[in-house]
Structure 1
Amino acid sequence: MELRHLRYFLAVAETHNFTQAAARCYVAQSALSQQVARLEKDVGAPLFSRTSRSVRLTAAGELLEPLARRILADVDNAQAALDALAGLRRGRLRLGLVQTMAVPFDMVEVLADYRVRHPGVDLRVSNAPSSRMADAVLAGTLDLAVVGLDARQAPQGLDHRTLGSAPLVVVVPREHALADRDAVDLAELPDSHPLIQFSRGSGLRRQVEAAFTRAGAEAGLHFEVGQIRDMIRLAARGVGVTVVPRSAVVGPGSVVGFDTADDLPHGARMLRLTDAEAVHHICVVYDGTRLAPAAEAFLDVLDRHGGDRSA
């Protein structure tokens, strides 16, 4: 079994197409097919179910896929560790970054600081729902992920460090029945305005739904949006109400750039929740058993900016 065989196998698994996989790997389709066939011979079982219309993983292929990703991730980490002997002049950091930053520091400044300290590292930042990014760290396709999960929600097998937290608040339009209140219980929200929810699988979505459960109310799914900024602006325009971290609405790290709650447009109001447990947590998750030097260096930069090393 050779590493290139595993790379070809993963390319086919991801594209479900031998022609596209060959183009991704810069080899002829016939050569890629031969190498995949050789890998199947080595493992003693077919890895793909091939028809004229589709290419799907077999049971053996599904078993091999996560193992292949971890093997290739280990090889990359080994190369990075060797690079580190020369002072981390090279390397790669694949970082997942959540939209909502309930942290006492500016993540943009963290990234800029890291770049200044390690200019030779290939830094790749991506965004996805928190649960998906945590799973990617577990699978070895991300080195680190800053996610909207608390310690109880972090997947088993991963280490984590808490970076910060912020209380959840409700943003309502000015004509809402509760707009003159300072604090509300989620059970008090009427159905007159639909609930604007964040994407499924996100840490924020989980925390909001947990808050509704504690309130004995149904969150429902009336309106789903993939950007926190749009959720707040839609609520201000009267489309519905939304529950978001306070740090996303006001303060230096807010996604809409408001300094105070009085800056909300269209007379919208930001209301506190009476539920003290309704908090949006941010942590960084990683696999401490396979932490590449570039990832370790990023944790060090986080510490300099105020990241908490406690787990």
Structure 2
Amino acid sequence: MDLRHLKYFLAVAETRNFTQAAAICYVAQSALSQQVARLEKDVGAQLFSRTSRSVRLTAAGELLEPLARRILADVDNAQAALDALSGLRRGRLRLGLVQTRASSVDLVEVMADYHARYPGIDFHVTNAPSSEMAAAVLAGDLDIAIVGLGPRQIPDGLDHRVLASDPLVLIVPADHPLADREVADLADLPESHQLIQFTQGSGLRRQVEAAFARAGVEAGQHFQVGQIHDMIRLAARGIGVTVVPRSSIIDGGSVAGAAPEARLPFGARALRLADDAAVHIVCAVHDSRRLAPAAAAFLDVTERHTTK
């Protein structure tokens, strides 16, 4: 089985189009079709169901797709391991980054430190919902993902390190019935509350919905926003209420030793939640069975920053 054939197969599987797959692989369509046909002969099964209008994976194709991804990922990792013999002078790190800020670790500083130590390693950074990135690590498409998932939410087969545990806070407009409180229970929200939610599939979304479930009330969704800063501003304008990590409203202070101070837009109030389990957990997830040296080095650098 030729690795090139597997790459062509995956290109067709992803695009569902032989012409587009050939363009991605920089080969003529006729050549790509011949190589896929040769792969089908090698495995003894038809991998695609072709019509004049569509290309679909057969049962054999669906079985081969995740295996092909793992095979190619293992080949990449083997190359990375060989690169490690030369002191990580070259290589690649496929990194998934959570879309929310981790309270106790500055990921930009981690990446800058890593690059200073290993300047020959190329970064390939992905930003996506946490559940998608964790699945990508499991499939071998990412080496490491920094995700907003708790240990129980991480797929089986993956290892994890907790990097941060950030309390969630309720953001309400200044004229809200709960605005004069310091601490609030989500069950105290009026039945007609409008909730501003983060992106579907994100770790934060899961943790907020879990907090509402513990409170015995429906989370609901009236707005879905992809930026936490916008969620807070919308709440300040009276559009609804929102629940965000405390770190998203805290300024670490520009002067060394200065105490953190809340930075909220005018008209917004932040209330601590009575639910101690309402936290935004950030983890680094990886598959220890296929952890490339470049990825292992990144975990070590991250560990140094989280234990400072």
Q: Please, what TM-score do these two structures have when normalized by structure 2?
A: 0.95
Q: CA deviation at 1:307?
A: 5.3
Calculate percent identity across the aligned residue pairs: 75
Asked whether 1:6 is paired with 2:6, we answer yes
Q: CA deviation at 1:105?
A: 2.5
Which aligned pairs between 1:46-195 and structure 2 lie closer than 5 A? 46-195=46-195
Counterpart amino acid of residue 292 in structure 1: A
Counterpart amino acid of residue 288 in structure 1: S
Counterpart amino acid of residue 225 in structure 1: V
Instruction: Measure, in 2, the Cα distance between the counterparts of 1:8 and 1:182.
Output: 59
Instruction: Measure, in 2, the Cα distance between the counterparts of 1:244 and 1:47.
Output: 46
Q: What's the CA shift string for 1:181-217, capped at 9, x where partnerless?
A: 1111111112444100111111111111111111000
Between 1:100-109 and 1:88-97, the stretch displaced more is 100-109
Q: Please, what TM-score do these two structures have when normalized by structure 1?
A: 0.94
Q: CA deviation at 1:26?
A: 0.3
Is the 8 Å Cα contact of residues 163 and 307 (structure 1) preserved in structure 2?
A: no
Instruction: Measure, in 1, the Cα distance between the counterparts of 2:307 and 2:3.
Output: 37
Between 1:54-63 and 1:101-110, the stretch displaced more is 101-110
- DSSP 3-state at the match of 1:270: strand
- DSSP 3-state at the match of 1:103: coil
Q: CA deviation at 1:149?
A: 0.8
- DSSP 3-state at the match of 1:266: coil
Is the 8 Å Cα contact of residues 252 and 261 (structure 2) preserved in structure 1?
A: no
Q: What's the CA shift string for 1:140-182, capped at 9, x where partnerless?
A: 0000000011111111101101111111111111121111111
- DSSP 3-state at the match of 1:305: helix
Q: CA deviation at 1:267?
A: 2.0
Instruction: Measure, in 2, the Cα distance between the counterparts of 1:307 and 1:38.
Output: 53
Q: CA deviation at 1:101?
A: 2.6
Counterpart amino acid of residue 279 in structure 2: V
Which aligned pairs between 1:211-222 and structure 2 lie closer than 5 A? 211-222=211-222
Q: What's the CA shift string for 1:216-251, capped at 9, x where partnerless?
A: 000012111122222112112221111111012213
Between 1:277-286 and 1:97-106, the stretch displaced more is 97-106
Instruction: Measure, in 1, the Cα distance between the counterparts of 2:307 and 2:4.
Output: 38
1:197 alignment counterpart: 197
Instruction: Measure, in 2, the Cα distance between the counterparts of 1:299 and 1:125.
Output: 15
Asked whether 1:290 is paired with 2:290, we answer yes
Alignment size in residue pairs: 302
Instruction: Measure, in 1, the Cα distance between the counterparts of 2:33 and 2:246.
Output: 53
Is the 8 Å Cα contact of residues 49 and 55 (structure 2) preserved in structure 1?
A: yes
1:256 alignment counterpart: none
Instruction: Measure, in 2, the Cα distance between the counterparts of 1:90 and 1:43.
Output: 35
5+ unaligned residues in a row in structure 2: which ranges? 254-259
Instruction: Measure, in 1, the Cα distance between the counterparts of 2:123 and 2:304.
Output: 19
Distance verdict in 2 for CA 1:174–1:192, change over 3 Å: farther
Is the 8 Å Cα contact of residues 162 and 307 (structure 1) preserved in structure 2?
A: no
2:256 alignment counterpart: none
- DSSP 3-state at the match of 2:206: helix
1:246 alignment counterpart: 246
Is the 8 Å Cα contact of residues 80 and 91 (structure 1) preserved in structure 2?
A: yes
Distance verdict in 2 for CA 1:221–1:236, change over 3 Å: same
